[in-house]
Amino acid sequence: MTFDQIELAVIVPLHNEAESINYFFNRIRTTLVGIEDLTNWQVFFINDGSTDNSLDKLKELRKHDKRVNIISLARSFGYQNALQAGLKNVTAKYYSIIDVDCEDPPELLEEFYHSIKHEDIEIAYGIRSNREEPSWIIFFRKMFYKINKLIADNEIVMWMAEFSMFTHNVKMVILSPRNTFLFLRNEMAYVGLKRKGFNYLRAKRKFGKTHYNFFRMTMFAIAGFLTSSTFPLRMIFYLGFFIGIILPLIWILFEIEFETIANVSVVILLYYSIICLSIISLYLARTYQNIINRPLYVIDTKQTFLNNNSE
């Protein structure tokens, strides 16, 4: 089968989202059916080891609509790995990523599609506007984007999450790095192909509870920094060079007693060592994960249901 036999593949990772599935599919089916020049679309639900009845809900959907495909993972491997499972095991002309909670509006896929098909665009993505959230969450999210843009080795797509649509060519490029963390906004920018953002206001989820707490946000931010930037490693050199120059200058210019400056140096070097070891250990841990090349996911073939024109 050639890749363009499915024109649009919609990748939907989910974990314990039984209450949202029917509502989501009704909205996305209405949207996709209403796109006049979209001839062949299919939805690929990536069941990331759900422990509720999400899989049963998906099977029921598939009974009534064969455009529903199910890829089940053997356990929960995490959102980013579920994304890779979907992208690596589905072949189409265009791909879209969207969450099942409908915080990102399925109706916007129509604008994504028309931009990619009729304009000189290879990536269409949603630009999130903040919904009503605690002010501290909004603050830390803004800080994450701004710091990431400041220290990233290459351009970062600002205010973007995973909600997007892109071509087969883009998919092959973003999957080419052997990285255990798919940081999409970095990979999209690295591709360099023409893209277009669409502003929208995030909605509150109608069903279930979010799995994305402050701890997960923090882990995501750290993983994003490790994937997109080597600045923390270079900062070790900058700090060391600064300390090595400034301490002797202070000693000479202010004629501080050697014993005093030595004591200050010991304290500064202690904290410097702690910072350096922490940064290096994080990068070593990520490098180790990448080098051992352990599978990012395992597909449960007995609970996976794909149509013939998907890989």
Which CATH number is 95's domain given? 3.90.550.10
- Residue 147 shares a structural domain with residue 243: no
- Residue 187 shares a structural domain with residue 253: no
Residue range of the domain that includes 162: 3-211+296-303
- Residue 54 shares a structural domain with residue 134: yes
Average pLDDT over residues 219-241: 87
- Residue 49 shares a structural domain with residue 180: yes
For residue 3, pLDDT beyond 50: no
- Residue 31 shares a structural domain with residue 106: yes
- Residue 135 shares a structural domain with residue 252: no
In this structure, is residue 220 part of a structural domain?
A: no
Q: How confident is the model at residue 130 (pLDDT cuts 50, 70, 90)?
A: low
For residue 1, pLDDT beyond 70: no
Residue 224 φ then ψ, to 5°: -65, -45
- Residue 141 shares a structural domain with residue 38: yes
Q: How confident is the model at residue 292 (pLDDT cuts 50, 70, 90)?
A: confident
Inter-residue contact 8 to 93 (CB < 8 Å): yes
- Residue 234 shares a structural domain with residue 187: no
- Residue 287 shares a structural domain with residue 160: no
Please count the structural domains in the chain. 2
Residues 9-19: tens digit of each pLDDT: 999 999 999 99
Q: What is the pLDDT of residue 131?
A: 63
- Residue 258 shares a structural domain with residue 110: no
- Residue 204 shares a structural domain with residue 240: no
Read off the DSSP letter of residue 195.
E
Residues 164-220: tens digit of each pLDDT: 999 999 999 888 877 777 777 778 888 878 899 999 888 888 877 776 667 777 787
Q: How confident is the model at residue 290 (pLDDT cuts 50, 70, 90)?
A: confident
Q: What is the pLDDT of residue 250?
A: 80
Average pLDDT over residues 134-151: 81
Contact residues for 196 (Cβ-Cβ < 8 A; gap 6+): 115, 119, 121, 123, 124, 125
- Residue 113 shares a structural domain with residue 243: no
Buried b (16+ CB within 10 A) or exposed e, 223-253: bbbbbbbeebeeeeeeeeeeeeeebeeebee
In this structure, is residue 309 part of a structural domain?
A: no
Q: What is the pLDDT of residue 190?
A: 81
In this structure, is residue 30 part of a structural domain?
A: yes
Q: How confident is the model at residue 311 (pLDDT cuts 50, 70, 90)?
A: very low
In this structure, is residue 223 part of a structural domain?
A: no
In this structure, is residue 310 part of a structural domain?
A: no
Q: What is the pLDDT of residue 212?
A: 66
In this structure, is residue 193 part of a structural domain?
A: yes
- pLDDT cut 90: percent of the chain above it: 50
In this structure, is residue 218 part of a structural domain?
A: no
Q: What is the pLDDT of residue 302?
A: 95
Average pLDDT over residues 114-133: 85
For residue 114, pLDDT beyond 90: yes
Strands (E), 73-205: 94-97, 123-129, 160-167, 195-201
Residue 157 φ then ψ, to 5°: -80, 110
Higher pLDDT, 194 or 251: 194
Torsion, Cα 130 131 133 139, to 10 degrees, reads 10
pTM for this predicted structure: 0.85
Read off the DSSP letter of residue 205.
P
